[in-house]
């Protein structure tokens, strides 16, 4: 695991208190799986009662909170425990460093709208109206046959989120701090332990006692490839081996000032974005960068047959419009997934997942020019060694035909990994050790179709989870806007079935949409 500036990715390390403080976790609490109210009181930790707590405060917490508010839950009944100031903070950080600033387009489709549970009017309609053009609508109507998938600009999504968070009074529900753990309560429900920012409370911890808890804690952390991590640790060279999710603007600036060679590793969308930036700088700003591109798996044609379909591939890349097949958001794919358990479910994930990138003509044309002019070269192989060389960092690879090759570059840009094991996240590790929670076939949190975390039920209380921590469950598109919406819808329905919130039926939905359309606060 590597850390990123601030605390937006995964868990921030808690600062130790300057002096021993009252109201902290003690041995009794740490060792006991199910807590009584008296145990928490004995530790001097103040208890705050609130019916519903969501931990994370990123996009997943926002989307669920939006649903619950639309269903009619009052702000006083919800607390969002988060180390973020606003829900899209981590997301914007990740998109910006991986080369999607606000004017650039995202990967999701026109109706994946985290700021509008109805998906209407879609982002394409919004853009058409704002920019007085029919282009986005024609694109959506003819994609993917006559045009590449239309996707919204990052800035459009952030502006919408800002508006909606004001409308639902998101700030009134937000409590800043670091969530340390969630434990079951002997009388039902949960205690969520929050470490507030230093100096803001008299005690080191505060316990939120709630009936239900929702977790949307995003990615456990960045994960470097093992060989790069070893290189960084052994040679203390953080400047020449960079993960694409670390801030690395200085690299592009350096390459504009002085020609150099970059080795890009990975074949997913982040690699595509980074390549676009390197190539744009070359073609539009005069950089003289030589690009070496290393794939572990190299696709040169159609592959991964599924029914009658096969995924497209070329020049190393596997092509897929979104980060799960489009069918994953509905219909037969969901029905099929619901019937699969264990290795069978994993097999379908293996077939349709992996690293892939959207097919975009702009990128393909750019790479072709690079290949033709000799400044973009691709390789396939397993890395066997990374060490400092005379003119940069030398990567030795074993190629498919058994021969070795050495690639020397001034910079290695790792575009492979964001996801560490869920145990790297303290909340998940604590749940695995103390709350009867299990793992799904891909090793993440095992959730039911309702997104309830299996094994963690506590009397009338339910623990729910959404986002990447649940990838590998019955619904493949969990780590997407539409996926966060689908999980929020299922959780809200489950809570409604228990009588915790009113059901969002047709009448309520139509009235709520009309309010949303007119930007009326709720
Ligand atoms: C570069 C990139 C581009 C993407 N583009 C798209 C796209 O175009 N379309 C799409 O549909 N999806 C996209 N996704 C996927 C997904 O929609 C986003 O990652 C989304 O932000 C996931 O929401 P989340 O709530 O799970 O995580 P986040 O939005 O990251 O929120 C979780 C937050 O919880 C907080 N947290 C964690 N632990 C604690 C703790 N102990 N205490 C307090 N707070 C804590 C952290 O601040 C963390 O960031 C993209 C993902 C990435 C990385």
User: In the prediction, which pLDDT does 237 show?
Assistant: 92
Q: Report the candidate in 348, 323, 321, 339 with the shortest Cα–Cα distance to residue 483.
A: 323
Assess contact for 128 and 156: CB atoms under 8 A. no
Backbone angles phi, psi at 110, to 5 degrees: -65, -30
User: In the prediction, which pLDDT does 352 show?
Assistant: 84
User: In the prediction, which pLDDT does 1 show?
Assistant: 39
Atom of ligand 1 at shortest range from CA of 106: 8
In the predicted model, residues of the chain with pLDDT beneath 70 are: 1-13, 15-20
- Write out the DSSP string of 303-334: EEEETTEEEEEETBEEE-SSSS-GGGGSTHHH
Atom of ligand 1 at shortest range from CA of 84: 47
Assess contact for 413 and 274: CB atoms under 8 A. yes
Which residue do the tokens 């003119």 mark? 391
Tally helices (H) and strands (E) across the chain. Answer: 17, 21
d(C-alpha 489, C-alpha 504), whole Å? 9
- Residue 215: CB within 6 Å of ligand 1? no
- Residue 468: CB within 6 Å of ligand 1? yes
Outline where DSSP puts E strands in 416-467.
Answer: 463-465
Q: Which residues pair with 193 in a beta bridge?
A: 181, 207
The Å distance, Cα 85 to ligand 1 centre, comes to 14
**Alpha-helical regions (H) of 56-169:** 59-71, 89-97, 123-130, 135-142, 154-167
User: In the prediction, which pLDDT does 480 show?
Assistant: 95
Atom of ligand 1 at shortest range from CA of 481: 11
User: In the prediction, which pLDDT does 220 show?
Assistant: 83
The Å distance, Cα 5 to ligand 1 centre, comes to 16
pLDDT in tens, 361-400: 999 999 999 999 999 999 999 999 999 999 999 999 999 9
**Cβ count within 10 A of residue 493:** 16
């Amino acid at each position: 695991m590597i850390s990123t500036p601030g605390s937006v990715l995964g868990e921030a390390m808690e600062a130790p208190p300057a002096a021993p403080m009252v109201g902290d976790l003690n041995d009794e609490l740490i060792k006991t799986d199910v807590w009584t109210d008296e145990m928490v009181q004995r530790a001097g930790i103040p208890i705050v009662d609130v019916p519903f707590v969501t931990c994370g405060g990123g996009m997943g917490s926002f989307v669920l909170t939006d649903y619950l508010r639309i269903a009619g839950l009052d702000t006083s009944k919800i607390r969002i425990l988060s180390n973020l100031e606003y829900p899209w903070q981590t997301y914007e950080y990740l998109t910006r460093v991986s080369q999607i600033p606000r004017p650039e387009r995202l990967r999701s489709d026109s109706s994946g709208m985290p700021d509008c549970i109805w998906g209407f009017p879609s982002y394409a309609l919004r853009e058409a109206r704002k920019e007085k053009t029919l282009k986005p609508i024609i694109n959506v109507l003819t994609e993917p046959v006559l045009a590449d998938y239309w996707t919204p600009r990052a800035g459009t999504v952030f502006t919408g989120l800002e508006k909606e968070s004001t409308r639902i009074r998101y700030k009134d529900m937000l409590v800043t701090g670091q969530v340390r753990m969630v434990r079951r309560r002997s009388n039902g429900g949960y205690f969520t332990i929050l470490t507030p920012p230093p100096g803001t409370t008299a005690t080191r911890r505060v316990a939120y006692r709630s009936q239900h808890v929702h977790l949307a804690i995003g990615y456990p952390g960045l994960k470097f490839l093992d060989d790069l991590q070893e290189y960084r640790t052994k040679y203390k060279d953080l400047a020449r081996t960079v993960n694409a999710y670390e801030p690395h603007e200085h690299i592009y600036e350096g390459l504009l000032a002085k020609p150099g060679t970059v080795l890009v590793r990975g074949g997913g969308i982040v690699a595509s974005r980074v390549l676009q930036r390197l190539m744009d700088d070359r073609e539009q700003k005069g950089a003289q960068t030589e690009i070496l591109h290393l794939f572990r798996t190299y696709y040169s044609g159609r592959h991964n047959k599924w029914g009658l379909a096969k995924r497209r591939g070329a020049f190393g890349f596997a092509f897929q419009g979104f980060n799960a097949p489009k069918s994953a958001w509905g219909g037969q794919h969901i029905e099929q997934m619901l019937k699969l358990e264990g290795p069978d479910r994993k097999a379908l994930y293996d077939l349709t997942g992996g690293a892939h990138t959207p097919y975009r003509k702009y990128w393909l044309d750019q790479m072709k020019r690079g290949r033709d002019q000799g400044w973009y070269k691709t390789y396939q192989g397993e890395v066997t060694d990374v060490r400092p060389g005379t003119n940069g960092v030398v990567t030795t690879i074993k190629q498919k035909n058994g021969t070795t090759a050495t690639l020397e570059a001034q910079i290695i840009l790792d575009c492979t990994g964001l996801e560490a094991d869920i145990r790297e996240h303290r909340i998940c590790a604590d749940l695995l050790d103390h709350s009867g929670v299990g793992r799904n076939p891909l090793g993440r949190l095992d959730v039911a179709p309702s997104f309830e975390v299996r094994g963690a039920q506590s009397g009338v209380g339910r623990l729910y989870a959404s986002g990447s921590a649940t990838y590998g469950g019955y619904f493949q598109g969990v780590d997407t806007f539409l996926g966060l919406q689908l999980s929020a819808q299922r959780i809200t329905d489950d809570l409604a079935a228990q009588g915790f919130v009113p059901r969002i039926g047709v009448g309520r939905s139509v009235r709520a949409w009309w309010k949303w359309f007119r930007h009326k606060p709720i």
